[in-house]
Amino acid sequence: MRDALAPDTLLSVRNLQTHFVSRSEVAKSVDGVTFDLKRGETVAVVGESGSGKSVTSLSIMGLLAHPGRIVGGEILYRNRQGTVRDLAQASAKEMKRLRGTEIAMIFQEPMTSLNPLFTVGDQIAEMITLHEKISYRAALDRAAEMLELVEIPAARRRVNDYPHHMSGGMRQRVMIALALANKPSLLIADEPTTALDVTIQAQILDLLRRLQSEMGMSILFITHNLGVVAEIAREVVVMYAGRVVEQAPVVDLFARPKHPYTEGLLACTPNAARDVDPNGVRLPLRPIPGSVPPITALPPGCTYAPRCTYAVPGCTGAVPPLFSVGASHLSRCFRHELL
Amino acid sequence: MSTLAHTSSEAPLLSVKNLETYFPLSHGTVRAVDGVSFEVRRGTIVGLVGESGSGKTTLGRSILRLVEPTGGEARFEDKDLLTLSPREMRAYRRRLQIIFQDPYSSLNPRMRVGAILAEALDTHGLAKGSARAPRIAELLTRVGLSPEHAKRFPHEFSGGQRQRIGIARALAVEPELIVADEPVSALDVSVQAQILNLMQELQKEFGLTMLFVAHDLSVVEYLCDEVVVMYLGRIMERGPSAQVYSRPRHPYTKALLATAPIPDPTVKRERIILKGDIPSPLDPPSGCVFRTRCPYAAPICAENRPPDEAVGLDHFVACVRKDELATSGEL
């Protein structure tokens, strides 16, 4: 299987299963997730709370908290030497070496991801010296360069700032500087703009796009925001209750959603231009009924069936497979032809 | 004042004038709300939008005196709420309610839902004795829950259901004005739409007036009749939603609308990326507070605070260069 990794593919997640097992129950947080990420491209994983999108990213990073465990599947990654490694089987030592050099991650909350007791320069310099033989002074210099790269004004001076001196947007820039300090091949961005205001979000998305084109890294972008997906991704993976329900190139997904959940998500996002009748009267939104089921008590068959307007009794039998519904377009719906 | 000629004639339910809420600190004063004026007509939904630090939440709370304003007035019908004694204010609290952002922390986890609603009724001496249980059942049914839910605790509900409980609590006392403080921000997208529909239905059914505080521009555009755009404690622009969204007349509104991501990958827009962050409210810029991030700022912008000036019916903009920018086609 490992040889099957196409030359332009950096990461291939195959049938990933990550479970959280407690004495009384099993949470199948990630249940058979498969997707590829090509070099220099951006794939967005989109889903609501409990969809398993963050657990997927933590599984790739090897950062699962107890009792989370990868119980099946492969995470094939092509390292700098060109060797394909299965990160699901990699030792803690190997993962530690990869994190920070080749694979980096930025999180939603930049305040809790930075150490409040050290200056931002110290934190970036530490990151560099951990993975490279270089003097601390030289590392601090590089830290200042990194802050310049992420467009922090007066970067030479700001290296001496503590995180609390900075605004949320600035802190997220520092996180990006920290993540990119060792020029990773893969950046995993888990809701990096969710805690930020829209004007700051636009700055950060712009910055990520620019840095990607300059440094050529691949980005796995985790988000719940379809607007952000439309702006940044090339390929989209839609997750619901631990499974991929739809996967497609971004334009296809928005123009021709082939899973009722994706269609529902797009339809329930308010859109003043669409949601009015010809007389200018507001039409009610079309919400998805019910709520996301708890991951420990999933309904049988298609987990979306209880909320689905297309559902028929057959939907609650077997778990639907991913059907090919177009060029690089997959849908986990028995009734995808109706959409 | 030119404002008279440009304002609809009907008397507003709520009229806020020069409202100020300052927080004194040891090293200065935070002007969270700095001289804000706007009106809310009966039966309408007015959206209050802005980024974090714009003062929108403080403004909503100041009107209800959950935060004490330091100046100005907030006239409800003919009474200035800010001059009322605590005892007088209590009578008004029945008519003014709030729905909070976080349905997890705004419900007492140790009280059953029935008791939470009963507490609201008790506070104002409503639906006593044998009328109590049917009233609670009615409220729960009205917000899409069932009467049996009265026996349960908040943790037994999902986020969307908890927000329904919060709405039922606000409705319990039959208010006239509801301040909804980011009521759908903490909810999943698929559930947001359910709550927005519910709020619209209730607004129509009970003729409610609503001040809807939000940062999500598309939600406000969809839901609100009018919109008030705040930045650093001041109002930059306000007017009918359709007008403000289709033709923003303040550079900040224009930038805000241009940066909000649209869920359509085929839309190519003019990108306006504002530089920098919102300045510290401890040390706001002189003149127009937006000028440090404004792509159209000129030296004159640093001089005086720009007045609210009418640019259309009920449409006001605080920008000294608005006419010039409109003529040159930049705005």
Query: How large a percentage of chain A has pLDDT more than 90?
Result: 75
Domains, chain B = 10-95+175-245 (3.40.50.300)
pLDDT digits 0-9 by tens, B212-236 = 999 889 999 999 999 999 999 999 9
B215 at A interface, C-beta within 8 A:
yes
pLDDT for the residue A4:
74
**Mean pLDDT of the region B132-138:** 96
Kindly write down the DSSP assignment for every residue of B198-245, as one continuous string.
HHHHHHHHHT-EEEEEES-HHHHHHH-SEEEEEETTEEEEEEEHHHHH
Number of domains in chain A: 1
Kindly tell me if the per-residue pLDDT of A10 is higher than 90. Answer: yes
Question: What's the longest Cα–Cα distance across chain A?
Answer: 70
Looking at every residue in chain B, the average pLDDT score rounds to: 92
* Contact: A224, B188; criterion CB under 8 Å: yes
pLDDT for the residue B330:
84
pLDDT for the residue B285:
95
> Backbone phi, then psi, for A208, in 5-degree steps?
-60, -40
- Among B102-106, B188-192, B300-304, top mean pLDDT goes to B300-304
* Contact: B197, A197; criterion CB under 8 Å: no
Query: How large a percentage of chain B has pLDDT more than 90?
Result: 79
* Contact: A197, B51; criterion CB under 8 Å: yes
**How far apart are the CA of B318 and the nearest CA of chain A, in angstroms?**
20
**How far apart are the CA of B69 and the nearest CA of chain A, in angstroms?**
26
pLDDT for the residue B269:
75
Orientation angle between helical segments A92-101 and A120-131, nearest 10 degrees: 120
* Contact: A224, B189; criterion CB under 8 Å: yes
pLDDT digits 0-9 by tens, B234-277 = 999 999 999 999 999 999 999 999 988 888 888 877 777 888 88
pLDDT digits 0-9 by tens, A225-247 = 999 999 999 999 999 999 999 99
Asked, for residue A139, whether it belongs to a domain, the answer is no
Asked, for residue A154, whether it belongs to a domain, the answer is no
* Contact: A285, B222; criterion CB under 8 Å: yes
**Mean pLDDT of the region B71-94:** 94
pLDDT digits 0-9 by tens, A161-174 = 999 988 888 898 99
B54 to chain A: closest CA residue: A197
pLDDT for the residue B5:
43
Host domain of residue A88: 1-93+186-194+213-268+287-339
Asked, for residue A156, whether it belongs to a domain, the answer is no
Looking at every residue in chain A, the average pLDDT score rounds to: 92
**How far apart are the CA of B193 and the nearest CA of chain A, in angstroms?**
5
Chain A residues within 8 A of B189 when measuring between CB atoms: 48, 224, 226, 265, 268-269
B55 at A interface, C-beta within 8 A:
no
Residue B165's pLDDT band (boundaries 50, 70, 90)?
very high
A251 to chain B: closest CA residue: B265
> Which residue, A168, A211, A208, A213, is CA-closest to A222?
A208
Helix (H, G, I), strand (E, B) or coil at A230: helix
A291 to chain B: closest CA residue: B191
Kindly tell me if the per-residue pLDDT of A291 is higher than 90. Answer: no
Residue B34's pLDDT band (boundaries 50, 70, 90)?
very high
B3 at A interface, C-beta within 8 A:
no
Which of A291, A292, A308, A309 is the mutation pick for testing B, counting most B CBs within 10 A?
A: A291
- Structural contact between residues A187 and A214, judged by C-beta atoms closer than 8 angstroms: no
pLDDT for the residue B276:
82
**How far apart are the CA of A76 and the nearest CA of chain B, in angstroms?**
29
Stated as kind and residue range, the H or E segment containing A35 is strand A26-38
| Domain CATH code at residue A245 | 3.40.50.300
pLDDT for the residue B39:
96
Residue A151's pLDDT band (boundaries 50, 70, 90)?
confident
d(CA A316, CA A224): 26
* Contact: B260, A227; criterion CB under 8 Å: yes
Asked, for residue A134, whether it belongs to a domain, the answer is no
- Which residues face A247 on adjacent strands? A237, A330
pLDDT for the residue B1:
39
Kindly tell me if the per-residue pLDDT of B282 is higher than 90. Answer: no
Tokens 């070099």 — which residue?
A: A39
Kindly tell me if the per-residue pLDDT of B3 is higher than 80. Answer: no
Asked, for residue A47, whether it belongs to a domain, the answer is yes
The dihedral built from the CA positions of residue B286, B290, B291 and B293, taken in this order, carries a sign that is: positive
d(CA B62, CA B17): 12
- Structural contact between residues B295 and A259, judged by C-beta atoms closer than 8 angstroms: no
Asked, for residue A304, whether it belongs to a domain, the answer is yes
Asked, for residue A117, whether it belongs to a domain, the answer is no
* Contact: B197, A284; criterion CB under 8 Å: yes
pLDDT for the residue B306:
97
Asked, for residue A116, whether it belongs to a domain, the answer is no
- Structural contact between residues A39 and A216, judged by C-beta atoms closer than 8 angstroms: yes
Residue B8's pLDDT band (boundaries 50, 70, 90)?
low
